[in-house]
Amino acid sequence: MTETKKTLLRKLRDREIDTTPHSGKGMRFSNKTKAVIFILTALFCTFFFAFHFNTQKSIALKFSAKPGNIWTSQPLIAEFTFPVFKELSEYNKEVSKAKENTLSVYVLETSSINQSMKVFNLIMTNLQNYINNVPNNIGAFFTIDELKKFDGLSPAQKQKDLTSMQKFIKFYLTEVYRYGLSNISLSQLRNNEVTVQLPPNYIKILSKDLLTDSTTINEKASRFLFNKISTTALELSIEIISRCAVPNLIYSKTLTDQAFSLAEQSVAKTEGIVRKGESIVSKGQVVTNEVLKKIRSYENSKLLRSESIYSVWYFLGSLGHATLIYTILLIYLFFIRKKIFFDNLQIAILSVLLILIAFMSWLSIEISTPLPLEFLILLPAFSMLSAIVFDSRTAFYVTVTMALMVSGIRGNDYDVGISMMFAGTLAAYTVRDIQSRTQMFLSIFYIFIGLAISIIVIGLERSTDLSTSLNKILLALINSAFSPLITYGLLFVIERTTNLTTDLRLQEYVNLNHPILTKLSELAPGTYQHTLSMAQLAERCAIAIYANPLLTKVGAYFHDIGKISKPEYFSENQIDIDNKHEMLTPRKSADAIKNHVVDGIKLAHDSKIPQRIIDFIPMHHGTSLVKHFYAKAIEMAYGEPVNDEDFRYPGPKPNSKETAIVMICDSIEALSRVPFKEKEDLEKAVDRSIKDKLLDGQLDESNLTMTDINTIKETCIKFIQSISHPRVEYKEIPEEKSETIVESGTEL
């Protein structure tokens, strides 16, 4: 035996390499690490219970009654007089409406008209001198191209047009300034009216249609001057107006913002008052919107009176609330799923899922939006993940725990809690027998159905308006679509970063064309045939006792791969070759047999086979005796004591129903090659094989019940009978008759 094999065998025997669920070493199985996980999970969830940056949300959560609910607590009596505050959404809507009705503010610039007329008169004077060929400064206002058409007119026409221009342009500018010329585009104003502040302290409201701005002044001028002056003079008049028009209405952002602020301040935050001693809500009373406003206003008034809702007792209560919910899951794991409970990695995964759900629940109430964000909480995705990574029963308890956490953090939000629980349960059971990753996408339909039915049913009971229900259903649809994608992504991360192996990954090893199985069929054909037959038997047994048939089948495929190393030492492969054990001592022969466990583990690790499959290699023999060579050693000892430990497999014993099934089937499958004349003989042989393992303590850690063992025994007997039934002895044709038939056939 090489040094590597000796070391590995020693580690197996000393349990340094251990696959039992709660006796391993290191952080993964440390009780201290487990305690840290429990404490951190409880603290994180407590934070999401107790801390809210939005005070209004905190108040709303303390009394989580919703319109349509029945008040089940004791009557609430006002201890002091307080105002009834409007709902924040209602108040914001009124503020928005007030701002919309607030007019933009302009300041009148009185000097603009004089400045405009001064420029106009200067242009007209220079234009008159230009016509009269008197020295002028017309070039400061117009280019040669702009005066080209005007120059083409006769002197009389020029003078006539100039007189008309001076008359009508001045009249037009007077009309413009009569109401006002804005310095900004009027299209920027929201209202149809504006406020103009006149000196010293007067305010005038004008229709926006009466005002003019830089974008409309030329258009209005064209309409006003049309048919009043010639076409040539019209073009020049537009240019004159654009050069001398100076805005006299100056938009004031400061005054406008002040007007908005005053409008907001003018909106009342309250809509009534409750006197001291007055009943806010009675026990058994239906909670209406008005009652809900009073309840929340009462708590808000306590804050205003410096009666903080936060206290040491409040935080202790939040810690207790979070811990109680978390403990529901831990109790289930401790009593029903010990393998998960004692594995810190698996406990950490479930705890992280719970923390993430708590965080999303917290975000759904911290983000201020009218949308029902609570229906974007990815609880169905985590339910699916739990069902795939662990099992459907565990997934159900995880779903219930997460739904309670959502409901608790959102202030006893029963509606969302029950909706998420129902959808999460459907999601978990849709992937219960998942065969491929694409099957997860069928869950989109079931998640949406679960959420939609809950929303509709609760909406009908609460008389929820249609638009609110539609918003919830829309977000439920988004949740349904993204949940499988989230599950797929998280599943990939878990599979690649941990040694946890899901049934989806096990599907990759069912293929008989796997390189190791192909090599087994070539080098150890007898073992390969034994493996195939045993896998079929083990799968049937797993189905019969409701164990995992896929895991059992894959474990059976790989349980004897160590025989690839030295197949000739095993009887099923000794075809036309000498028995190698005839040249060895019983001790050496036993070591050679036991080595297939060590070789199998090494080969599996080198080939990166998941640990969940590797467990079957040592556990299918457990710590049982290599009986044949142990008996042979006793014969050759001539009365000297023989240490049975030298002839025992290194173990460990089977720690699950699946590994125990493979152990039982490994020995029973060989009986299919033994001819039994009577069924009773077969039953006795099967019963003896199983009883030997029971008496040797090999099944003590497997969680198999006596009912399971009896079911396995019956299944094995039926299987062996089906493949070893006696064949009918067909009669042969007499020799003389046979020759006659042959001759007849020849003639034909």
Q: Give the domain-ending residue among 201, 234, 262.
A: 262
Q: Does 663 score more than 70 pLDDT?
A: yes
What's the pLDDT band for 63 if we cut at 50, 70, 90? low
Tell me the residue type at 324.
L
Q: Cα(403)–Cα(382) distance, rounded to whole angstroms?
A: 11
Does any domain span residue 654? Answer: yes
Range of the domain at 33: 3-50+311-500
What's the pLDDT band for 255 if we cut at 50, 70, 90? very high
Q: Does 22 score more than 50 pLDDT?
A: no
- Percentage, residues of the chain above pLDDT 70: 88
Residue 704 and residue 676 in one domain: yes
Residue 233 and residue 321 in one domain: no
* 386 and 353 Cβ atoms separated by less than 8 Å: yes
Residue 326 and residue 426 in one domain: yes
Residue 40 and residue 166 in one domain: no
CA 652 to chain centre: 38
The least confident of 40-49, 256-265, 277-286, 536-545 is: 277-286
Does any domain span residue 729? Answer: no
Does any domain span residue 31? Answer: yes
Which one of 15-29, 441-455, 497-511 scores highest in mean pLDDT?
441-455
Q: Cα(225)–Cα(221) distance, rounded to whole angstroms?
A: 6
Does any domain span residue 117? Answer: yes
pLDDT of residue 748: 33
Which one of 94-98, 127-131, 369-373, 451-455 scores highest in mean pLDDT?
451-455
Q: What is the pLDDT of residues 299-348, one digit of tens each?
A: 777 766 655 556 788 889 999 999 999 999 999 999 999 889 999 999 99
Number of domains in the chain: 4
* DSSP state letter for 419: H
Q: Does 705 score more than 50 pLDDT?
A: yes
- Which residue, among 744, 720, 741, has the nearest Cα to 732 in the 3D structure? 741
Across all residues in the chain, what is the average pLDDT?
85
Does any domain span residue 349? Answer: yes
pLDDT of residue 618: 94
Does any domain span residue 745? Answer: no
| Higher-confidence position of 232 and 723 | 232
**CATH number of the structural domain spanning residue 619:** 1.10.3210
Does any domain span residue 737? Answer: no
Question: Which residues in 73-87 are b (16+ Cβ under 10 Å) and which e?
Answer: eeebebeeebbbbbb
Does any domain span residue 91? Answer: no
Which one of 89-103, 287-301, 582-596 scores highest in mean pLDDT?
89-103
pLDDT of residue 150: 83
What's the pLDDT band for 52 if we cut at 50, 70, 90? confident
Residue 583 and residue 703 in one domain: yes
Which one of 35-39, 123-127, 629-633 scores highest in mean pLDDT?
35-39
Residue 416 has phi, psi (to 5 degrees) of: -70, -40
Q: Give the domain-ending residue among 500, 520, 539.
A: 500
Compute the residue count for the chain.
Answer: 748
Q: What is the pLDDT of residues 399-438, one digit of tens each?
A: 999 999 999 998 888 889 999 999 999 999 888 766 666 6
Residue 642 and residue 694 in one domain: yes
pTM above 0.95, yes or no: no
Q: Give the domain-ending residue among 469, 500, 531.
A: 500
Residue 572 and residue 676 in one domain: yes
For 127-183, the DSSP string reads HHHHHTT----GGGT--HHHHHHHHTS-HHHHHHHHHHHHHHHHHHHHHHHHH-BBS
Residue 637 and residue 518 in one domain: yes
Residue 124 and residue 174 in one domain: yes
Residue 283 and residue 256 in one domain: no
What's the pLDDT band for 232 if we cut at 50, 70, 90? confident
The least confident of 56-70, 200-214, 249-263, 675-689 is: 56-70
What's the pLDDT band for 6 if we cut at 50, 70, 90? low
pLDDT of residue 281: 85
Residue 551 and residue 496 in one domain: no
Residue 574 and residue 660 in one domain: yes
